[in-house]
Amino acid sequence: MTATLGYALFATRWLQAPLYVGLVAAQGVYVYKFFKELWNLILQCVTGQATETYVMLAVLKLVDVVMIANLLIMVIVGGYETFVSRIGLQGHRDQPEWLSHVNSNVLKVKLATAIVGISSVHLLQMFVDVHHTSRHALLWGTVIHMAFIASAAILAYMSGPMALRADRAHRERGDRHGHGEHGGGEDGPDGHGNGHEHAAASTPTASTTPIVPAPEIRHRVTSPPPVPIPAQTQPLPSTTYGTGAEARIRAAGFPSRKLLEEFDVDHPRSFDRETVARLGKLDFVAARRNVVFVGAPGTGKTHLAIGLGVRACQAGHRVLFATAAEWAARLSGARAEGRLAEELTALDDHAVLIVDEVGYLPFDADTAQLFFHLVAHRYERASLIVTSDRPLGRWDEIFGGGAAPAMTDRLAHHAEIVRLEGDSYRMRRATSSWAE
């Protein structure tokens, strides 16, 4: 009975939908008002009756109407997304930046700053037409404007601690969940419980082992040579991470910056656009789920993986990117130094790890076990994004020693698998250049 009542109350959120439709109608009214004011301004200018003050006031009225219309858009789109139902615009090239991580807290700050802007225009109108404005109106206009500024500053100040408390609570839930029975405690291919090995390393360490491409990567023939990673994008020690999105993006080690909005959705012959749009909301990061992009070289797997990584960085998550060969070199070096468990624990500081180009090079049994340890350690603890040229069922062709079934079982248990079918985007562009 209690559950039914709860669902019924939650369903009442749809009562707000007509309200947002009404705001859309109000938007139409402001469009009419804008063009009416613009027409009057043009007539006054053509007939020579428009003074400089009149033109300035008329333009400020137009600006005022536009700013109020912008405020309506934020309320309509942001409010509907937050309080009624998700719109699912992620991945659209015209998606507003703030909508990718919209919540009631962000919405309040956006609305407060918009109101301050509108109030500024109104106050400017009063000062431009100061000869026809009473001192009483000027005084109270200034006081009201300062009150708007103060309230916006207070909201912006409060949004920081509120976000920190939410993030701390999320981390505490993650810690409790990470020590549960599925926190990587199952036996590995060698029969040893790697979860106990990981638990022994209870103190996270900030590993500074650089990701070095494996020598064999020079002999890859199934894809073009990797773009050298600029020095400023190499993974940094945890002590050098900044708090801004740009610092997190630089520290992630992306070979280049790719955005989901820039992905050519018309290039692949087939892929699940709805799933990619849903992934763009980053719910999989909070749920500690994995993402696997499968497709032939040049179909856009790496672009989508980097796009999700960049968006995760913008949303406040730490991300680390490397190819499968680079991850193999990093984990092999940690094992050789006797600190594999510490290395895996240090990687827990990153909400998302991206493993690119799985399948282009085969791995021996020892390296396959290293990847198993990585996947098992992250299992139900944090997210992995993997790109591969072949489906999980064929990973035994990549990883020797029988580790593939246990690895793919954990990787796919909580995963979104997106297949991309089509020709190579790079080959298409090269063919087009040759044709020219």
Residue 344 contacts residue 374 (beta carbons within 8 Å): yes
3-state class (DSSP) for residue 190: coil
Rounded CA-CA distance 16/80 in Å is 8
Residue 282 contacts residue 311 (beta carbons within 8 Å): yes
Instruction: Select from 326, 107, 125 the least CA-distant residue to 217.
Output: 326
Q: What is the pLDDT of residue 249?
A: 95
Give the tokens for residue 238.
Answer: 């945890």
CB atoms within 10 A of CB 243: 7
Q: In what order do the strands lie in the sheet with 383-388?
A: 319-323, 352-358, 383-388, 290-295, 415-420
Rounded CA-CA distance 236/256 in Å is 16
User: 196: Cβ–Cβ under 8 A, 6 or more apart, which residues?
Assistant: 185
Residue 422 contacts residue 269 (beta carbons within 8 Å): yes
Rounded CA-CA distance 309/320 in Å is 8
Q: What is the pLDDT of residue 207?
A: 38
Give the tokens for residue 113.
Answer: 């700053």
Rounded CA-CA distance 205/194 in Å is 18
In this structure, which amino acid lies at residue 182? H
Q: Pairing relation of β-strands 319-323 and 352-358?
A: parallel
Residue 62 contacts residue 34 (beta carbons within 8 Å): yes
User: 394: Cβ–Cβ under 8 A, 6 or more apart, which residues?
Assistant: none
Q: What is the mean pLDDT of each run of 10 residues along the chain (436 residues)?
A: 81 90 93 92 90 87 88 84 73 58 60 81 81 84 88 75 55 47 40 39 39 37 37 36 79 95 83 90 94 92 96 95 95 94 94 94 91 94 95 89 88 92 66 46
Instruction: Select from 148, 150, 151 the least CA-distant residue to 119.
Output: 148
Q: What is the pLDDT of residue 90?
A: 55
Q: Output the pTM of the full model.
A: 0.47
Q: What is the pLDDT of residue 345?
A: 93
Rounded CA-CA distance 125/217 in Å is 65
Rounded CA-CA distance 330/312 in Å is 23
